[in-house]
A and B are shown apart, each in its own frame.
Chain A
Amino acid sequence: MAWRQRRTLPGFSLTLGITLVYLSAIVLIPLAGLFFKVAQIPPAEFWRLATNDLALSAYRVTFGSSLAAALVNAVMGTLVAWVLSRYQFPGRPIADALIDFPFALPTAVAGLTLASLFGPRGWLGSHLESVGIKIVLHPLGIVLALTFVGFPFVVRTLQPVIDQLEVEAEEAAALMGAGRWYTFRRVIVPALLPAILTGFAMAFARAVGEYGSVIFVAGNKAYESQIAPVLIVSYLEQFEYGGAMTVAVVLLVLSLVLLLTVNLLERWSSRFLR
Chain B
Amino acid sequence: MSAIVRSRPAVVSKSRRGSDESPWARRMLIGVAMLFLAIFLVLPLVNVFVQAFGEGLGAYFQALGHPDTRAAILLTFVVAVCSVGLNLLFGLTASWCIAKFQFPGRTLLLTLIDLPFSVSPVVAGLLYIVLFGRQGILGPWLDEHDIHIVFALPGIVLATIFVTFPFVARELIPLLESQGTEQEQAALALGATGWQTYWRVTLPSVKWGLLYGVMLCNARAMGEFGAVSVVSSGITGQTDTIPLRVVKLDMGIADHAAAFAVASLLAFLALVTLVLKTWLERRQNRELTLASSNLNEH
Which B residues between 235 and 278 are near A, CB-CB below 8 angstroms?
A: 243, 246-247, 250, 256, 259-260, 263, 266-267, 269-271, 273-275, 277-278
Residues of A within 8 A of B165 (CB): 26-27
Q: How many residues of A contact B (CB 8 A)?
A: 95
Out of B41, B47, B114, name the residue touching A102 (CB < 8 Å): B41
Interface presence of B179 (CB below 8 A): no
Q: How many residues of B contact A (CB 8 A)?
A: 98
Q: How far, in whole Å, are A103 and B115 apart by their CA atoms in the complex?
A: 17
Tell me if A212 and B130 are in contact (CB < 8 A). Answer: no
Interface presence of B290 (CB below 8 A): no
Q: How far, in whole Å, are A205 and B123 apart by their CA atoms in the complex?
A: 14
- Nearest residue, chain A, Cβ from B264: A109
Total A-B residue pairs with C-beta atoms closer than 8 Å? 281
Which B residues between 76 and 90 are near A, CB-CB below 8 angstroms?
A: 86, 90
CB distance from B92 to the nearest CB of A (A): 8
Q: How far, in whole Å, are A110 and B170 apart by their CA atoms in the complex?
A: 24
Tell me if A8 and B188 are in contact (CB < 8 A). Answer: yes
Question: If A105-B267, A117-B43 touch, does A28 touch B112 (CB 8 Å cutoff)?
Answer: yes
CB distance from B292 to the nearest CB of A (A): 17
What secondary structure prevails in chain A residues at the interface with B? helix
Question: If A79-B29, A109-B243 touch, does A100 touch B274 (CB 8 Å cutoff)?
Answer: yes
Question: If A16-B97, A108-B223, A212-B243 touch, does A251 touch B123 (CB 8 Å cutoff)?
Answer: yes
CB<8 Å pairs between A and B, sample of 18: A9-B181, A15-B93, A18-B90, A29-B131, A37-B137, A87-B29, A97-B274, A104-B219, A104-B269, A104-B273, A112-B260, A117-B43, A171-B19, A209-B120, A216-B250, A229-B122, A236-B126, A241-B130
- Interface set of B (CB-CB < 8 Å, partner A): 17-22, 25-26, 29-30, 32-34, 36-37, 39-45, 47-48, 51, 86, 90, 93-94, 96-98, 100-103, 109, 111-123, 126-131, 133, 135-137, 158, 161-162, 165, 181, 184-185, 188, 194, 198, 216, 219-220, 222-226, 229-230, 243, 246-247, 250, 256, 259-260, 263, 266-267, 269-271, 273-275, 277-278
